[in-house]
Amino acid sequence: MSDQKQKIEIGDGAAIPDPEDKGLISAWWIALIGTVSLLIILPLLKPDPYARILSFVPDGILVTFKVTIASISLALVIGLLTGLGRLSKNRFINLVASLYVEIVRGVPLLVQLFYIYFALGRIVRVPDIVAAVIAMAFCYGAYMGEVFRAGIKSIDHGQTEASLSLGFNRRQTMAYVVLPQAWRTILPPVGNEFIALLKDTSLVSILAVADILRRGREYASESFNYFETYTMIALIYLLITLVLSRLIANMEHRLSHYERR
Amino acid sequence: MNAADPIIKIRHINKYFGSFKALDDVSLDVNLGEKVVVLGPSGSGKSTLLRTINRLETISSGSIIVDGHDLYDPDEDINRIRMELGMVFQNFNLFKHKTVLENLTLAPIKLKKMEKGRAEAMAYELLDKVGIRDRANHYPIQLSGGQQQRVAIARALAMEPKIMLFDEPTSALDPEMIGEVLEVMITLAREGMTMVVVTHEMGFAREVADQVVFMDGGAIVEEASPDSFFDHPVHARTRLFLDQIL
């Protein structure tokens, strides 16, 4: 039996490197070495302003990570529920899940951020960072839902039948048999979404959340070193996404252990 | 339930796929310990019939009673009934993300709340029985088709079912692996298991079956003992089928 590895390509995340590709001359390595070199050489050659930028901005890295981790965690939960909802035979649940996906996909993320932050903020006051996380998770939950749906559908129906025939009910079948296998198919696109989300958190700098980009803007508007500041910011984002994409690739490789003969 | 009652009672079932009639007024009794082999050309409804017995396939009308439980009684728990019905599939359907041992222990641990050590001891016994103990820690993809199917039989047996259903268990196998699977099934039959087997293996049918059922066009055409079925088939369609296959 041929078990073709299924890949779902959704999203606009960084390219996940192929773990089999061990050569030194790959796009990933060139980008990483270039980024790290610039991040070291520029502050050494021209401490003012590069070294100053590097000491000012990293406060924002923690905020960016916090927003990213909180948003992706929430988005995964929403995504799982949405994916299951979209596959549900219950018409009402199916409709609600589909409607949610349609709405989110049709409204730009920035508009959703403004809507949740300013419009809903007038009705319920929540801390800035919480509003940002809710908005990000609300948006990415819909995309994640589609990833989960595709992942679950990619599992051979025979697996479900075998599980049911042993006496498992539908929920147990999903939990013990389908989802653990779907997870492997889902991981690459989830990794993509994770990286895309990390990049999109830069949008929350528009709100009063002091992430990497906002810290950079604060520095630039005081020092007028726009070119230098945004160069460093771009390099910091690039370094983070490069490292993350490699971590995800390794994780993916490890998760596929049962496929190796 | 009366002891003499058949353990599977199928009464006048009909099944439609859209407007196509897959099962046409089928009735069948299987007694405790009996081995029934269902034969027929492809598309005759034999697999569909087998799959209705554990409700993987629903029926449009009629009734199916397994071990005294009506499959379509809303008060019955289908999952409990399925625990009594082991099933072996054409494509094995082993859980790909679990090792051989875990394939056997998953259901007993989760559904019967069996202690892990006991479940594993039982699993090893079953693996001995199907001759595959040395592969306990392999993943299904690392096994040959014949080995996978033997594991699948052991997995079904791990729930200690009263009845075993086999849906063309050797059809997806390379010819040299058919024997090892049939051997396990013959052993099981000798131990007195109640079995319903859909197959194209005529040798197996002749050796093991108490009752041979021949289906065509969604209906049961002929029911007989293997000797009279193979040596003196009554119906023209049965004779045609046997001529083509033997």
Q: What is the pLDDT of residues A132-175, one digit of tens each?
A: 899 999 999 999 999 999 999 999 999 999 999 999 999 999 99
pLDDT at A4: 46
The 10 Å Cβ neighbour count of residue B163 is 21
A125 or B44: which carries more pLDDT confidence? B44
Question: What is the DSSP-derived secondary structure letter of residue B158?
Answer: T
Choose among A158, A181, A257: nearest Cβ to B91.
A158
Question: Which residue from A199, A233, A200 is spatially nearest to A219, judged by alpha carbons?
Answer: A233
Q: Give the pLDDT confidence score for residue A10 in this predicted structure.
A: 53
| Contact between A167 and B107 using a beta-carbon 8 Å cutoff | yes
Which of A71-75, A103-107, B88-92, B194-198 has the lowest average pLDDT? A103-107
Spell out which residues of chain A touch residue B155, defining contact as CB-CB under 8 Å. Answer: 166
Chain B residues near residue A155 by CB distance under 8 angstroms:
none
The 10s digit of each residue's pLDDT in A162-210 is 999 999 999 999 999 999 999 888 988 898 899 999 999 999 888 878 8
Interface test with B, best of A154, A166, A179, A259 (most B CBs within 10 A): A166
d(CA B231, nearest CA chain A) in Å: 36
Distances (CA, A) of B5 to B30, B65, B133, B152, B197: 9, 11, 38, 30, 20
Handedness of CA A154, A159, A164, A167 (dihedral sign): negative
Coil, helix or strand for A49?
helix
Average pLDDT, chain A: 86
What distance in Å separates residue B233's CA from the closest CA in chain A? 34
**B198: helix, coil or strand?**
strand
Shortest Cα distance, chain A CAs vs residue B157, angstroms: 10
pLDDT at B107: 97
DSSP tag of B40: -
Identify which of A1, A3, A167 has the shortest CB distance to residue B80.
Answer: A167
Q: Which residues of A fall within a CB distance of 8 Å from B67?
A: none
pLDDT value for B98: 96
Q: Which of A7-11, A31-35, B107-111 has the lowest mean pLDDT?
A: A7-11
pLDDT value at A225 more than 50:
yes
Mean pLDDT value across residues A40-47: 90
> Is pTM beyond 0.95 here?
no
pLDDT value at position A18? 67
Q: Among A129-143, B85-99, B163-177, where is mean pLDDT lowest?
A: A129-143
Q: Out of A55-64, A83-92, A216-225, give the one with best mean pLDDT.
A: A83-92
- pLDDT at position A28 is 86
Give the integer Cα–Cα distance in Å for B8 and B81.
12
Question: Tokens 């980024």 — which residue?
Answer: A35
The reply to whether A170 touches chain B by the CB within 8 Å rule is: no
**Is the link from the previous residue into A47 a cis peptide, with omega within 30 of 0?**
no
Query: Tell me, what's the pLDDT at A53?
Result: 87
Considering only CB atoms, which chain B residues are within 8 Å of A186? Answer: none
- pLDDT of A2 > 80? The answer is no
Please give the residue that has the higher pLDDT: either A18 or B88: B88
Q: What is the pLDDT of residue B155?
A: 97
Instruction: Please report residues of B whose CB lies closer than 8 A to that of A260.
Output: 141
Cβ-proximal residues to B140 (8 Å cutoff; 6+ apart), any chain: B92, B94, B95, B96, B98, B100, B103, B148, B151
Average pLDDT of chain B to the nearest whole number:
94
CB A170 within 8 A of CB A152: no
Q: On the CB side of A116, how many CA atoms lie within 13 Å of its CA?
A: 24
Cα–Cα dist A52/A251, whole Å: 36
Cβ–Cβ contact A177 with B under 8 A: yes
Using DSSP, state whether B103 is helix, strand or coil. helix
Mean of pLDDT values over A53-76: 90
Q: Using CB atoms, which residue from B79, B93, B139 is nearest to A162?
A: B93
CB B214 within 8 A of CB B230: no
Nearest to A217 by CA among A95, A63, A106, A56: A56
Rounded average pLDDT over B33-50:
95
Strands ordered across the beta sheet of B61-66: B20-30, B8-17, B61-66, B69-70
CA torsion, ordered A167, A171, A176, A179, to nearest 10 deg: 140
Predicted local confidence at residue A1, as pLDDT: 36
Task: Give the C-alpha separation, A74 to A3, whole Å.
Answer: 33
ipTM over 0.90: yes
Would the pLDDT of A50 be above 70?
Answer: yes
Q: Phi and psi (nearest 5°) for B3? A: -60, -30
Tokens at A167, concatenated: 């006496």
The stretch B136-140 carries a mean pLDDT of 96
Q: Which domains does chain A have, with CATH numbers?
A: 58-209 (1.10.3720.10)
Give chain A positions within 8 Å (CB) of B54.
165
Tokens of A98: 């589909």
Which residues, listed in sequence order, are joined to residue B219 by a DSSP beta bridge? Answer: B216
Q: What was the pLDDT predicted at B115? A: 96
Q: What pLDDT is attached to residue A24? A: 59
Average pLDDT estimate for B149-166: 97
Alpha carbons A214 and A64: distance in angstroms, whole number: 10
Lowest mean pLDDT among A116-120, B50-54, B158-162: A116-120
Which residue would you say has higher pLDDT here, A231 or A20? A231
Q: Which residue matches tokens 């983070």?
A: A240
CA of A161 to nearest chain B CA: how many angstroms apart?
7
Separation between Cα atoms, residue A254 and residue B63, nearest integer Å: 49
Asked if the model's pLDDT at residue A21 lies above 80, the reply is no
* Residue A91 in this model has a pLDDT that exceeds 50: yes
Give the end-to-end CA distance of chain A in Å, rounded to a whole number.
13
